[in-house]
């Protein structure tokens, strides 16, 4: 019997009157949903606790703002041939996962890059990526990605800085570990879900019993049980899987008793979340004359730049993507400032007529979301090992999971899913011991 069918059993997806269950899972994002499905499929009782009023975590599809699916969070399905979420989506009715168009476009001022310019740009990206990887392999210790860059990138350096840093990692390259960058898996083949990645996650969790608006504020690990204050009640479990973001953990929104060991606390601090936001614009009649899902960068002169994902899944929706230090500053300035930047940026690249075509707008601000406090993790220098540290069980019955707790697929929904399944497998081993 499949895990979704098993998970629909009330006996498995609820705590007893005494508040006891087998496995408590904190956070109903991709990792939490994956863990709950795994535990339910093994025939064990679980409780899935979610602080917000919905499931999906940093994957949420909004269909009301623009009247079309709009992923406010994660949108890309990387490496669909091996991505567990993409494979599961193929079995879900009513969802269409399709290949993202290959390649990207580059604007230089108000024109498309010429063939030679595009070759120079792509060569600069490849050279920089290889330099970081080779430096990480050769170095005795760790350094930042910025320190590993070739010194002769010339006027392509701002583009390289943005594409590999804020766009790829949510952070500036001086804040990203070269070792972490080098160990990340290839993400050069992508897919999209036409109905939205958040909608896909919601379907994968539809048969699970979830306690929404139930934040866990205290978690105590004893010899044979984990006890937690969840909402207005107390839950006791034989094992607990914590899938909340490293942003939430670092903010100490969950009080651990006893305190987390310094080893784990340091790992969390060095796996902080970067800044990455969508500024969504409704652009009817395709004023930019771009194809569906075209990815567009510019040749910038500094850090005030962005990426564009045009005509998302064939809709009038355009996503202007900002990240890193500039994106964080823009987010703090508020949604109006973000929208003004996006419209101005597009006008500089495609002409002032763009302003006349803008309809509804929206901007995400993930660093201000109380149950996320950021976008996705990227390790600081000497922080890459923290991913494996957080894979270690604490006192044999407390486990961590999430995108930050995957050594090669960090920052991805697929990585979060695999991490959740791995944590569930580790928790289920408690029942295999004598």
Q: What is the mean pLDDT of residues 356-385?
A: 98
Say how far apart CA 298 and CA 342 lie, in whole Å: 13
Closest among 236, 188, 181, 157 to 76, alpha carbons compared:
188
Closest listed residue to residue 38, CA positions, set 239, 305, 273: 239
pLDDT of amino acid 168: 97
Predicted confidence (pLDDT) per residue in 283-319, tens digit: 999 999 999 999 999 999 999 999 999 999 999 999 9
Band of the pLDDT at 12, cuts 50, 70, 90? low
Range with the lowest mean pLDDT among 6-20, 281-295, 301-315, 331-345?
Answer: 6-20
Please tell me the predicted confidence (pLDDT) of residue 223: 83
Q: What secondary structure, in 3-state letters, does the chain show?
A: CCHHHHHCCCCCCCCCCCCEEEEEEECCCHHHHHHHHHHHHCCCCEEEECCCCCCCCCCCEECCCCCCCEECCCCCEECCCCCHHHHHHCCCCCCCEEECCCCCEEEECCEECCHHHHHHHHHHHHHHHHHHHHHHHHCCCCCEHHHHCCCCCHHHHHHHHHHHHHHHHCCCHHHCEHHHHHHCCCCCCEEEECCCHHHHHHHHCCCCCEECCCCEEEEEECCCCEEEEECCEEEEEEEEEECCCHHHHHCCCCEEECCCCHHHHHHHHHCCECCEEEEEEEECCCCCCCCCCCEEEECCCCCCCCEEECCHHHCCEEEEEEEHHHHHHHHHHCHHHHHHHHHHHHHHHHCCCHHHHEEEEEECCHHHCCCCCCCCECCCCCCCCHHHHCCCCECCCEEECCHHHCCCCCCCHHHHHHHHHHHHHHHHHHHHCC
Mean pLDDT of 212-220: 97
- What pLDDT, on the 0 to 100 scale, is given for residue 2? 32
**pLDDT category, 5, cuts 50, 70, 90?**
very low
Six-digit token pair at 291? 């194809």
Residue 139 pLDDT greater than 90, yes or no: no
Does the model's pTM come out above 0.85? yes
Distance in angstroms (rounded) separating the CA atoms of residues 415 and 429: 21
In the numeric block, the tokens 């500094």 are attached to: 302
Cβ atoms 156, 121 nearer than 8 A = yes
Radius of gyration (C-alpha) of the chain in whole angstroms: 22
Strand pairing report for 105-108 and 111-112? antiparallel
Average of per-residue pLDDT values in the chain: 94
Quickly count: other Cβ atoms within 10 Å of residue 370's Cβ.
Answer: 12
CB 37 within 8 A of CB 208: yes
Question: Residues 393-432: pLDDT tens digits?
Answer: 999 999 999 999 999 999 999 999 999 999 999 999 999 8
- Whether 191 and 74 have beta carbons less than 8 Å apart is answered as no
Report pLDDT for 253.
98
Give the per-residue pLDDT at 140. Answer: 84
Q: Which tokens is 336 given?
A: 């109006």
Residue 6 has pLDDT above 70, yes or no: no
Over residues 227-256, the pLDDT tens digits come to 999 988 999 999 999 999 999 999 999 999
- The pair of three-digit structure tokens given for residue 134, joined into one six-digit string: 């080779």
Mean pLDDT confidence for 312-338: 98
Looking at the chain, the whole-number percentage of residues with pLDDT higher than 90 is 91
Residue appearing with tokens 């919905």: 54
| pLDDT (average), residues 44-51 | 98
pLDDT at 432: 85
Distance from C-alpha of 306 to C-alpha of 31, rounded to nearest angstrom:
29
Other residues' Cβ atoms within 10 Å of the Cβ of residue 150: 14
Domains of the chain with CATH codes: 3-55+205-272+378-432 (3.50.50.60), 70-195+274-368 (3.90.660.10)
Instruction: For residue 63, give both structure tokens.
Output: 């269909």
Nearest-10 crossing angle of helices 30-41, 197-204: 20
Residue 14 has pLDDT above 90, yes or no: no
Per-residue pLDDT, 16: 52
**Which tens digit of pLDDT belongs to each residue from 162-196?**
999 999 999 999 999 999 999 999 898 999 999 99
Q: Are 242 and 235 in contact (CB under 8 A)?
A: no
Q: What are the C-alpha distances in Å from 135 to residues 144, 170, 179, 377?
A: 10, 21, 8, 21
Q: Assess whether pLDDT exceeds 90 at residue 433.
A: no
């Amino acid at each position: 019997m499949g895990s979704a069918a098993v998970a629909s059993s009330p006996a498995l997806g609820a705590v007893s009157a005494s508040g006891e269950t087998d496995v408590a899972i904190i956070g109903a994002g991709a990792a939490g949903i994956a863990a709950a499905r795994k535990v339910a499929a093994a025939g064990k009782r679980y409780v899935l606790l979610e602080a917000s009023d919905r499931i999906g975590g940093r994957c949420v599809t909004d269909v009301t703002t623009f009247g079309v699916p709009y992923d406010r969070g994660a949108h890309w399905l990387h490496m669909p041939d091996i991505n567990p979420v993409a494979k599961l989506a193929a079995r879900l009715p009513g969802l269409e996962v399709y290949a993202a168009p290959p390649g990207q476009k580059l604007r230089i001022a108000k024109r498309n890059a010429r063939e030679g310019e595009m070759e120079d740009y792509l060569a600069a990206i490849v050279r920089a990526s290889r330099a970081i990887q080779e430096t990480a392999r050769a170095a005795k210790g760790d350094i930042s990605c910025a320190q590993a860059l070739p010194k002769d990138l010339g006027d392509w350096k701002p583009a390289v800085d943005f594409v590999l840093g804020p766009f790829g990692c949510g952070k500036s390259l001086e804040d990203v570990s070269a070792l972490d960058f080098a160990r990340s898996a290839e993400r050069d083949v992508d897919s999209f879900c036409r109905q939205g990645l958040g909608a896909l996650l919601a379907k994968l969790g539809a048969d699970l019993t979830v306690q929404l608006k139930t934040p866990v504020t205290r978690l105590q690990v004893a010899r044979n049980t984990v006890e937690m204050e969840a909402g207005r009640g107390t839950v006791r479990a034989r094992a607990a899987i914590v899938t909340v973001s490293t942003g939430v953990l670092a903010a100490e929104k969950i009080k651990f008793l006893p305190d987390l060991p310094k080893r784990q606390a340091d790992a969390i601090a060095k796996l902080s979340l970067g800044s990455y936001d969508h500024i969504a614009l409704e652009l009817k009649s395709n004023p930019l004359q771009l194809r569906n899902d075209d990815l567009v960068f510019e040749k910038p002169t500094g850090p005030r730049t962005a990426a564009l994902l045009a005509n998302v899944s064939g809709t009038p929706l355009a996503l202007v993507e900002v990240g890193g230090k500039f994106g964080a500053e823009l987010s703090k300035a508020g949604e109006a400032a973000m929208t003004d930047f996006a419209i101005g940026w597009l006008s500089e690249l495609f002409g002032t007529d763009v302003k006349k075509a803008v309809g509804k707008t929206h901007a995400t601000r993930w660093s201000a979301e109380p149950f996320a406090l950021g976008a996705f993790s990227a390790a600081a220098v000497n922080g890459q090992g923290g991913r494996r540290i957080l894979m270690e069980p604490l006192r044999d019955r407390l486990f961590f999971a999430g995108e930050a707790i995957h050594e090669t697929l960090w920052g991805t929904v697929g990585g979060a899913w695999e991490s959740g399944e791995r944590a569930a497998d580790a928790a289920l081993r408690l029942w295999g011991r004598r």
